[in-house]
Amino acid sequence: MRRQISTNLYLRAGISKKPELLLPQSEPALTLKEPFTFEFLGLEAKDAVAESDLERALILHLQDFLLELGKGFCFEARQKRIIIDDRYYFPDLVFYNRLLHCNVIIELKNDEFKHEYLGQLNAYVAYYKENEMVPGDNAPVGILLCTKKGTKMVEYALSGMDNQLFVSTYMLQLPNKTQLEAFLQKQMQEIGLHGE
């Protein structure tokens, strides 16, 4: 019955002069860049940048970081202290997205994705869901930013988790012209195109 009603609604919307008034308004969705580019921080790309240095640089360049994140992000806290089982924990960065009406917890890692990082972020998101949400809020979202990720490991690590968790990568510097040319040549060879 519900399927028939929704089908009829979409048919009526299709012939309506103002279909936007008939169709249900969908909630805005969080979209993530892949990868994030943090070149504006002025940090040199090296083997490892300390997480605290990355976090400090992001706070010093907060306006640029908010623009990189996208629309609706408002800064709430850095290293916000929360208590779970009488122990202190400190999510790296906490934002509120006014378009999504939810907290966004960001964990920064200075190396490649590890499944235990997702467990940590999941705990923070669950804490926020239980202790920080107010009436009208949507469930919090967690974003893990790391230097590299394996698609399958991320898929397996996220499997069965109820919370909204996302994994994305970041770069401190864009590749130079030589690196880009080498990458494009390799991609062209893999798909069978040969550059001259």
Do the strands 164-171 and 36-37 form a parallel or antiparallel pair, or are they unpaired? parallel
Question: pTM of the full predicted structure?
Answer: 0.61
Encoded tokens for 23: 């169709």
What the chain holds in terms of domains, given with CATH numbers, is: 1-30 (no CATH), 33-190 (3.40.1350.10)
pLDDT digits (tens, 9 = 90+) for 94-133: 999 998 899 999 998 888 888 899 999 999 999 999 999 9
Which letter does DSSP use for residue 185 in this model? H
Most confident of 59-63, 125-129, 176-180: 125-129
